Structure 1
Amino acid sequence: MHYPWILFDADETLFHFDAYAGLRRMFAGFGVDFGEPEFHHYQALNQPLWVDYQNGHITAEQLQHRRFAGWAERLAVSTRELNSAFLAAMADICAPLPGARELIDALSGKAQLGIITNGFTELQQIRLERTGFRDAFSTLVISEQVGLAKPDPGIFEHALALMGRPPREQVLMVGDNPHSDILGGLNAGLHTCWLNPAGKAAPEGIRPHYQVSSLHELHKLLLA
């Protein structure tokens, strides 16, 4: 199959996102031994915040503040300082997923590539530079900058405007999250490919055009 435009999600689509390792590294800098119990408590707070963010109920700034508010009080530092340290730690440990580099190298020159992510600016730009991917993507759309998060149709419209408004059926959205990436892409009229390494069943009402278990499989599909 051939798509003139391919949009990728970032976290767990192109890059590993090991939040536990990043948090351990970050908190070590504040003299805290951050273990599994602390991580479970953090996730219990963080995950609902991300749902609220993706649904447009809170802003990126509110998410970043609320997830570290308790720790900021405990450590007598600002939530902004903690959030920045976390993103820096995540940038330090960033690594492309298996097959990502080969796929992007193979697609370069054959299709226009873009990233549309709900992640934060501070991490995305550093990560693209450190992995050598920055020049491969002509379009980089970050929810924090746009003020809208996937699956909101507005963030996809923003991306399409930056891309020069190509026909929507000529744009493939690739991502690991069936709600933000796949449903968001479908609602924007794009073709979609769900990266589903765990082989999960698609949520009711979400029907991606394609489904792959790895980036190697996507590579074969796109460049057969």
Structure 2
Amino acid sequence: MNYDVILFDADDTLFDYKKAEDYALSSVFEEFGIQSPDTDYVAIYRTINQELWNDFEKGAISLADLRVERFSRLFAGTGLTIGADEFSSRYLSYLGAGAYLIDGAVELIEELRSKVRLAIITNGIREVQLSRFSKAGMDQYFEHIIVSEDTGYQKPHLGIFEYTFNKLGITDPGRVLIVGDSLTSDIQGGLNSGMDTCWYNPHNKQNPSPVQPKFEIKQLSEVLTLL
């Protein structure tokens, strides 16, 4: 056995984040009566949201500020007069209900649970992530669900991985594999902390960056071949 522990990312690795986000946005926009054939609010929001998450990875904005700021910018840029705090709260409630798993996620975790120790390491919002794992019945499979909010650091910062190693009693990072879809957070973070890395790349994206994972897979079931 090559690894004692496998750390999984959550969004777009085990959970279909876009599907959850689509559900949450359509639900909250409907609740607040936001609709216009001339303005693509979803596209504008996604651009703003991605920019802010990139800033979060760099430590340029806190998660508490991010969760409201994205809607403040959306409303300011589109002329909508809606309270961003209330809107954010309702959006997160819907997002936490969107427990849509990636195909093969349950089967993989059920197969792995008897072979290696499993944990989650995610930059997502704590209340959202815990809600989704609970609703999907996936929380029972992992020793710990480690959320950046609880650690004071976010991937790829070494601090969140040191927190994780302490939590799990890991003394040899070389016996740990991290699996995730993000080169900048999961793979870079894994490289920073001395773990082997597995890039989940189902859409066959090109990687022109200097961040090079040890493994690359297109289906979750391929993780089994790495043990």
TM-score by length of 1: 0.91
Pair 1:200 & 2:202 matched? no
Shift in CA distance, 34/188, structure 1 to aligned 2, threshold 3 Å: farther
Task: Choose the corresponding residue for 2:80, options 69, 74, 82.
Answer: 74
- 2:171 corresponds in structure 1 to 166
Greater shift, 100-109 or 1-10, is seen at 1-10
CA drift of 1:12 comes to 0.2
| Post-superposition CA distance 1:79-99 (Å, at most 9, x none) | 332222212212223211001
Amino acid at match of 1:204: S
Residue segments in structure 2 that go unaligned for 5+ positions in a row: none
CA drift of 1:222 comes to 4.0
CA drift of 1:100 comes to 0.2
Seq. identity, %: 38
CA drift of 1:135 comes to 1.4
Aligned CA-pair RMSD: 1.9
State how far apart, in whole Å, the 2-side matches of 1:138 and 1:34 are. Answer: 45
- 1:188 corresponds in structure 2 to 193
- 1:32 corresponds in structure 2 to 34
Q: Is the contact between residue 202 and residue 218 of structure 2 (CA under 8 Å) also seen in structure 1? A: yes
**Secondary structure at 1:115 match in 2:** strand
Q: Is the contact between residue 151 and residue 184 of structure 1 (CA under 8 Å) also seen in structure 2? A: yes
Amino acid at match of 2:32: F
- 1:43 corresponds in structure 2 to 46
| Post-superposition CA distance 1:181-218 (Å, at most 9, x none) | 00111111011100011212324321211110011222
| Post-superposition CA distance 1:54-106 (Å, at most 9, x none) | 000110011112101153993543x3322222122122232110010001111
Shift in CA distance, 44/164, structure 1 to aligned 2, threshold 3 Å: same
- 1:134 corresponds in structure 2 to 139
**Secondary structure at 2:120 match in 1:** strand
**Secondary structure at 2:135 match in 1:** helix
- 1:55 corresponds in structure 2 to 58
State how far apart, in whole Å, the 2-side matches of 1:125 and 1:81 are. Answer: 21
| Post-superposition CA distance 1:135-167 (Å, at most 9, x none) | 111122111222211111111111111011231
Q: Is the contact between residue 59 and residue 147 of structure 1 (CA under 8 Å) also seen in structure 2? A: no
State how far apart, in whole Å, the 2-side matches of 1:160 and 1:186 are. Answer: 14
TM-score by length of 2: 0.90
- 1:152 corresponds in structure 2 to 157
Q: Give the count of matched residue pairs.
A: 221
**Secondary structure at 1:74 match in 2:** coil
State how far apart, in whole Å, the 1-side matches of 2:112 and 2:171 are. Answer: 18
Amino acid at match of 1:2: N
Q: Is the contact between residue 27 and residue 34 of structure 1 (CA under 8 Å) also seen in structure 2? A: no
- 1:14 corresponds in structure 2 to 14
Q: Is the contact between residue 17 and residue 90 of structure 1 (CA under 8 Å) also seen in structure 2? A: no
Residue segments in structure 1 that go unaligned for 5+ positions in a row: none
State how far apart, in whole Å, the 2-side matches of 1:141 and 1:106 are. Answer: 21
CA drift of 1:112 comes to 0.8
Q: Is the contact between residue 7 and residue 116 of structure 1 (CA under 8 Å) also seen in structure 2? A: yes
- Pairs within 5 Å for 1:107-118: 107-118=112-123
State how far apart, in whole Å, the 2-side matches of 1:148 and 1:102 are. Answer: 31
